[in-house]
A = this chain, B = another copy of it.
Amino acid sequence: MTNFDQAFDQFASRYLPAGVNEALHRQLFGLARLIEIEREQSLPLDESAEQFVYLVEGATKLVAHASQSRDQIVAFHFAGDVISVPARVHHSYSVCALRKSAILTFPGDRFLEAASGEPAMLGKLLDASRTSLLRCREKTITLGRKSAAERIATFLLTMAERIGSEVETGVHLDLPMSRRDIADSLGLTIETVSRQLTLLRESKLIETLGRSGVLLLDPARLEDCAGYLRAA
């Protein structure tokens, strides 16, 4: 039920700093398209060109398609995130909703061109890009050098940082993604994800509540399982 003006204002309040060139504001307003997508529905994108996406509401996954239905989830995104969706080169990328989501899309080239004269906005975009890069690098470590157990622990801690809520007994997570999504993100299978969660449950490190609820009972000990460097 999001309307376009509301959505754009939300975007502007985060990425168009006060005092930004009014012409740029109007230009971006003209470029933006609001799209609502249902759970497990992919954003209909022009694969041949890069796109910028602002996630107004909901949660999404950025999926890279390797050959023959082997998908790799490159990143998860939540409301407020800006996502740069690459054009197809050796692999193709798409944005898919984990639950009902509202999204503003911008054609990549014209978006960057519009932003190119506005340092404040470029700064915001650079920040966003650097955050994505840092997350992607951490994922590289996870996928390249960690065991299944470490991957799951890392995943839970990463999600805790982003969408966890502190409760008396630990940190509570309401995961919007399925076991398949977790597996596709960590380079594992759903069976392995499930088995590792069971092991963590048996070690009293987590509790699971239905399909989406996870309670991290001992985040500190979980960090040891994640293969993180010990605090210096």
Contacts and interface: CB of A to CB of B under 8 A. Distances in A.
Interface in A178-199: 184-187
A91 B138 contact: yes
Contact of A136 (B66, B88, B133, B145): B133
Nearest to A132: B133
Nearest to A158: B90
Contacts of A64: 137, 140-141
Interface stretch (A8-16, A35-43, A98-106, A222-230): A222-230
B145 A72 contact: yes
A65 to B, nearest CB: 7
A139 interface: yes
User: 7 closest pairs, A vs B, by CB?
Assistant: A144-B187, A143-B143, A122-B122, A136-B136, A72-B144, A129-B129, A90-B228
Interface of A: 47, 64-67, 70-72, 74, 84, 86, 88-93, 112, 116-119, 122-123, 125-126, 129-130, 132-134, 136-141, 143-146, 184-187, 223, 226-230, 232
